[in-house]
């Protein structure tokens, strides 16, 4: 095991991971990493395509003896979720990630690591860079904006590909084969703000909810973790029944597909209500410590008396509708699969709440492996928006990835695993958006599988990647490519 980062990056996978970690690549900010991939391919005289969506496709001919094996598409995404701990000085638009090793895990420093999906990029570059690794003809495609809109994959021109086999490297569990994923859609409910003149003689207070673990809104939705936006709705609703107060802003969450960890609200009230406010906050700290003692033991609500120069607050109607939205917008698990034990079938996550001068925007990430249930969540959300006089829209709609019982590439992975480890590999489905569904929708007859090493707490600043698992998954991946030569491909 490598004890230092310098030793670790001597391995080609971690060498390339360290290179891309130095390039800012939040969703929507992929130009630099996309250009880097193009230069990488050009320097090695490999065929490369960069499309208008900044997706990059790199092609490499088969090694000797593998010319007759079907072409394989290797796929991942170049963007990452940008989350950092409160108070951390890090500019995701310009600053490199600061990698560090703790035990046998790789972390960034107080930010997301980007192993989701930097691992796929590192694997692909290490494979393309190698001369001694046997493999069939490769078509490596690294997409953009997977973490936000799936826009890169949705923009892909399928005519660029000859392959009918897709190996996606965006799974997060070693020793498992991912064979099915959920479809998803982004739902936005927007409440116009009617402003009123703030009363005189009031004090301003900032209520902050924090200490929550958060996590990936698909992978972690079954962990029972607190959603700071929903908690804020409960607190403000309870406060409304106790004291008169006024709201001037509510903001929470930073990524629609991450369970929000922090939400704040700025409120005004008269000094004689201060004591009651403190008592209510103390009560909610006790309630949440009890409710979330297992999932989020560090949850806390803080209260700060702040200076302000605002002269307006939400009207009573706006305030009522904002709190109702926080309370009633669907959130969390909506249904569980009856076919696969423990698999979430449909869910939704109120990921972002933003206040501007004109409106309050509520953004949710909804998922389902059954399209009709995804449609139900959309319809339910629209009815609520209509009832509250909110604007409603959806985007980033992408298809589910259905299970293929006749998958040939799954059989190859299963056979290689049994030969390598002496036992059967676990077959899983996941409640998360995987680009396989989009590619299968575009390329007729595509056969897909997804793999990846163990990673933890993705989409949070505590994201970390198992070093031994990354190396193990790499050798397993290479063994599959090598042994594809001995598989009977429809013969």
Question: Would you please indicate which residues are annotated as catalytic (active-site) residues?
Answer: 79, 146
Q: What is the DSSP letter of 62?
A: P
How far is it, in rounded angstroms, from Cα 35 to Cα 15?
18
Distance CA(431)–CA(210), nearest Å, equals 26
Residues 6+ apart with CB under 8 A from 305: 203, 204, 205
Tokens encoding 256 = 């629609």
Q: Which residue has the tokens 């998958």?
A: 407
Question: How large is the C-alpha radius of gyration of the chain?
Answer: 24
Q: Which of 65, 50, 225 is nearest to 135 (CA)?
A: 65
Euclidean distance between CA atoms 64 and 71, whole angstroms: 14
Residues 138-148, buried b or exposed e (16+ Cβ, 10 A)?
Answer: bbbbbbbbbbb
| Other C-beta atoms lying within 10 Å of the C-beta of residue 3 | 8
Q: In 159-298, where does DSSP find H-type helix?
A: 228-240, 274-291
CA distance 54 to 156: 10
What residues are paired with 204 via a beta bridge?
268, 306
Order of all β-strands in the sheet with 105-107: 100-102, 105-107, 464-466, 455-456
β strands within 307-444, DSSP E: 312-314, 332-336, 344-355, 359-368, 391-398, 426-433
Cβ-in-10-Å burial (0-12, 13-18, 19+) of 356 comes to: exposed
Token digits of residue 213 = 């673990």
Tokens 């703030």 found at: 198
For 56, the 3-state DSSP assignment is strand
Neighbours of 91 (CB within 10 A): 9
Q: Is 179 helix (H, G, I), strand (E, B) or coil?
A: strand
Whole-angstrom distance, CA of residue 272 vs CA of residue 275:
7
Beta bridge mates, 80: 26
Residue 427 bridge partners (DSSP): 177
Token look-up 């950092």 returns 84
Query: Token digits for 335?
Result: 């249904």
């Amino acid at each position: 095991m490598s004890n230092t980062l310098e030793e670790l990056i001597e391995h080609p996978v971690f060498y390339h991971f360290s290179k891309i970690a130095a390039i800012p690549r939040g969703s929507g900010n992929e130009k630099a990493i996309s250009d880097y991939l193009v230069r990488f391919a050009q320097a090695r005289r490999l065929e490369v395509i960069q499309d208008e969506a900044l997706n990059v496709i790199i092609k490499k001919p088969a090694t000797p003896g593998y010319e007759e094996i079907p072409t394989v598409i290797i796929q991942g995404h170049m963007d990452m979720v940008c989350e950092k701990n409160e108070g951390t000085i890090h500019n995701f638009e310009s600053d490199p990630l600061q990698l560090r090793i703790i035990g046998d895990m790789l972390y960034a420093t107080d930010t997301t690591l980007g192993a989701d999906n930097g691992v796929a990029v590192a694997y692909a570059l290490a494979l393309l860079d190698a001369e001694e690794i046997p493999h069939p003809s490769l078509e490596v495609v690294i997409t953009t904006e997977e973490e936000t809109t799936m826009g890169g994959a949705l923009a892909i021109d399928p005519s660029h590909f000859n392959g009918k086999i897709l190996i996606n490297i965006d799974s997060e569990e070693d020793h498992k084969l991912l064979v099915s994923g959920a479809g998803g859609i982004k739902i936005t409910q927007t409440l116009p703000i009617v402003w009123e003149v703030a009363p005189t003689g009031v004090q301003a207070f900032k209520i902050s909810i924090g200490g929550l673990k958060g996590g990936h809104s698909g992978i972690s939705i079954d962990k029972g973790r607190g959603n700071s936006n929903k908690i804020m709705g409960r607190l403000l609703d309870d406060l409304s029944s106790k004291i008169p107060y006024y709201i001037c802003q509510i903001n929470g969450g930073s990524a629609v597909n991450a369970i929000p960890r922090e939400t704040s609200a700025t409120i005004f009230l008269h000094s004689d209500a201060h004591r009651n406010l403190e008592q209510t906050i103390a009560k909610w700290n006790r309630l949440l410590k009890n409710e979330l003692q297992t999932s989020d033991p560090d949850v806390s609500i803080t209260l700060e008396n702040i200076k302000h120069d605002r002269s307006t607050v939400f009207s009573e109607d706006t305030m009522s509708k904002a709190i109702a939205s926080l309370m009633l917008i669907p959130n969390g698990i909506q249904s569980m699969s009856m076919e696969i034990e423990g698999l979430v079938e449909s869910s939704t996550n109120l990921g972002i709440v933003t206040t501007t001068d004109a409106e309050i925007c509520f953004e949710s990430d909804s998922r389902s492996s059954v399209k009709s249930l995804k449609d139900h969540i959309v319809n339910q959300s629209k009815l609520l928006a209509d009832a509250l006089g909110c604007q409603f829209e959806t985007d980033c709609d992408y298809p589910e990835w259905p299970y293929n019982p006749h998958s040939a590439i799954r059989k190859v992975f299963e056979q290689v695993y049994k030969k390598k480890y002496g036992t059967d590999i676990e077959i899983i489905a996941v409640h998360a958006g995987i680009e396989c569904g989009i590619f299968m929708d575009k390329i007729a007859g595509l056969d897909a599988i997804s793999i990846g090493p163990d990673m933890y707490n993705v989409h949070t600043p505590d994201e970390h990647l198992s070093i031994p698992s990354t190396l193990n998954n790499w050798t397993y991946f290479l063994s599959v490519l090598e042994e594809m030569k001995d598989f009977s491909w429809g013969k």
